[in-house]
A and B are shown apart, each in its own frame.
Chain A
Amino acid sequence: MVDLLKGIIPNVVNKPDELLESINQTFYMLSVSGSIAFVLGLILGVVLIVTRPNGILENKFVFSMLSYTINTFRSIPFVILLAALIPFSRMIVGTAIGTTGAMVPLVVGTVPFFSRQIESALSSIDSGLVEAAQSMGSSPLGIIFRVYLKESIPHIVRVTQITAISLIGLTAMAGAIGGGGLGDFAIRYGHQRGQTDVTYVTVLVILCIVAFIQSFGNLIIKKSSH
């Protein structure tokens, strides 16, 4: 079996430890920056929804400031953001290099995108529902949790799936500051050194991760739909 593998994917078989480390690095980056970005993005998305014109906590200043900031960060190509955030990374996590150093740029690169996704998911809530809750004397916080968030769970799961898979793509660029990961593994060996079997295997592994995110999310949607 090993000989068969040596025949078709020699460049992977001669560095299994590096492939394993790349998988670990990708999981580490996805889980840590993913969870932080999820919470921050959710909060900012909710802020956008409630402070927008005719929102339950309408606030033109907060809404426009947040909107412009989000647009600005979304306009910066990620590779440039990675380099620009080096001093900020150092301040927050103590280093700008390696997988740890990649966390801050990954979060900053994902939160603006995810908050727009949440804004979009929550805006499909029927305004009638919101009015009904208001007329029953619900506080803004109550409306946020009991109407906006609770009623949008399937939608929120879907945009989270989209963002998570986009985050996998971002982690591929973390190699520029030594972050490693599967994407960087494929770029360095598959693309730069022409070892195409490395590229195939890496894509396969990423495909498994993507498939898992899709199925797991779909399961949650099924359980929470009524």
Chain B
Amino acid sequence: MFNFNNFKKAAVIASLGLALTACGDKDNKETASNDGLVEVKLGVVGEHNNEWKATAERLEKEGIKLTLVKFADYTLPNRALNDGEIDINSFQHVAYFKSDCEEHGYDLANVGNTYIAVMGAYSDKIKSMDELKDGDTIAIPNDPTNGGRALKLVERAGVIKLDPAKGYIPTVRDITENPKNIKFYEVDAGNTPSLIPDVAVSVINSNYAIDNNLDPLNDAIFSDVTGEIDENNPYINIVVAKSSNKDNENIKKVMKAYQVKETAEILLKEYKGSQIAAFKFE
């Protein structure tokens, strides 16, 4: 039997409970320092953050507590940064940063480079992009940023030409010249390695390549990062802060602690050479 009195009691208790927890949260947010350390919250995506953990250890000696805040997907960290929930984030490259900020009107700034992850073309049929024949197929990632980057890679290999007005996020529709009539298959980025046997060439992100036992440095028939890294390469990953915060002393300390030889070595070791430090160090 539905007892209205019980319902009223439960509703009052529930709202009191909610009000109390809200008070509790407010107190936590106002704590500015932990044991005399200044906290800097760093937003990241995914589990590969060992170079940041090493950086955090170095920063403790300088009075900064670097806290990693993990996000489940790429659409969240810039919003959290813009809303002031975190102080900096490190997960995106310049191309994604520019398009995400433009799309959502965020007021954020680049405060330093981290690394660049290689994207490569792989094939079990040919040894060079020149060997592509008329009507061959190429598999590329189907999301805007990785797909666009894959197309730029194919352009760099001299196979197609893309509309320059589309910048770094072109789509298959922006191909202006395709003399070999290459057919592009847009697939989930995670599936690009398993579909190698079904196409002439598959363009794969370095992390997926490694997860599938491919060696980005030795197995790729073409790579979009070779030799010296151009300062203007849009795929360099960066650390981002709010524009109003970009000259913050603590953030500068964090970047200094990160951009050292030890970090470059961790990157090289953990990702088998497919993630290359994009900053200068001794």
Q: Does B109 contact A (CB under 8 A)?
A: no
Residue-wise, chain A 186-199 has the 8 Å CB interface mask toward B (1 for contact) of: 00100011100000
A194 to B100, CA, bound (A): 11
Closest beta carbon of chain B to A166's beta carbon, Å: 21
Q: Does B142 contact A (CB under 8 A)?
A: yes
Q: Provide the main secondary structure of the chain B interface.
A: mixed
Q: Given the interface contacts A176-B187, A178-B187, does A101 sit within 8 Å of B198 by beta carbon?
A: yes
Closest beta carbon of chain A to B204's beta carbon, Å: 14
Residue-wise, chain B 164-196 has the 8 Å CB interface mask toward A (1 for contact) of: 000000000100000000000111101100110
Stretch at the interface among A92-100, A144-152, A200-208: A92-100
Pairwise interchain contact A177-B188, C-beta atoms closer than 8 A: yes
Q: Given the interface contacts A175-B188, A177-B187, does A97 sit within 8 Å of B103 by beta carbon?
A: no
Tell which of A15, A95, A177, A192 has the most Cβ of chain B within 10 Å: A177
Pairwise interchain contact B186-A194, C-beta atoms closer than 8 A: no
Interface size on A, residues (CB 8 A): 20
A194 to B142, CA, bound (A): 15
Pairwise interchain contact A178-B173, C-beta atoms closer than 8 A: no
Q: Chain A residues near B103: list those with CB within 8 A.
A: 194
Say which size band chain B's interface belongs to.
10 to 19
Q: Does B238 contact A (CB under 8 A)?
A: no
Q: Does B262 contact A (CB under 8 A)?
A: no
Q: Does A43 contact B (CB under 8 A)?
A: no
Q: Does B254 contact A (CB under 8 A)?
A: no
Offer 9 A-B interface pairs, CB within 8 angstroms, sorted by A: A83-B190, A97-B137, A97-B185, A98-B185, A101-B198, A175-B186, A175-B188, A178-B142, A178-B186
Closest chain A residue to B173, Cβ basis = A15
Q: Given the interface contacts A97-B185, A194-B103, does A177 sit within 8 Å of B195 by beta carbon?
A: yes
Known pairs A96-B197, A178-B195 / 10 extra A-B pairs, C-beta < 8 Å: A18-B173, A82-B191, A83-B191, A83-B194, A86-B194, A97-B187, A97-B199, A98-B198, A178-B187, A184-B142
Binding site for A on B (CB under 8 A): 103, 137, 139, 142-144, 173, 185-188, 190-191, 194-195, 197-199
A160 to B207, CA, bound (A): 42
Closest beta carbon of chain A to B270's beta carbon, Å: 25
Q: Chain B residues near A193: list those with CB within 8 A.
A: 144
Closest beta carbon of chain A to B148's beta carbon, Å: 11
Per a CB cutoff under 8 Å, which of A96, A184, A194 touches B194? A96
Pairwise interchain contact B198-A90, C-beta atoms closer than 8 A: yes
Pairwise interchain contact B188-A97, C-beta atoms closer than 8 A: no
Closest chain B residue to A18, Cβ basis = B173
A151 to B226, CA, bound (A): 70
A178 to B199, CA, bound (A): 11
Q: Chain A residues near B139: list those with CB within 8 A.
A: 97, 178
Closest 3 CB pairs of A and B: A178-B185, A176-B188, A97-B198
Per a CB cutoff under 8 Å, which of B185, B191, B197, B199 touches A90? B197
Per a CB cutoff under 8 Å, which of A83, A101, A175 touches B142? A175
Pairwise interchain contact A96-B198, C-beta atoms closer than 8 A: yes
Per a CB cutoff under 8 Å, which of A82, A83, A95, A188 touches B186? A188
Closest chain B residue to A94, Cβ basis = B198
Closest chain B residue to A184, Cβ basis = B142
Per a CB cutoff under 8 Å, which of A82, A83, A192 touches B144? A192
Q: Chain A residues near B137: list those with CB within 8 A.
A: 97
Closest beta carbon of chain A to B154's beta carbon, Å: 16
Closest beta carbon of chain B to A181's beta carbon, Å: 12
Q: Chain A residues near B142: list those with CB within 8 A.
A: 175-176, 178, 184, 188
Pairwise interchain contact A97-B195, C-beta atoms closer than 8 A: yes
Closest chain A residue to B143, Cβ basis = A192
Q: Chain A residues near B143: list those with CB within 8 A.
A: 192
Q: Chain B residues near A95: list those with CB within 8 A.
A: 198
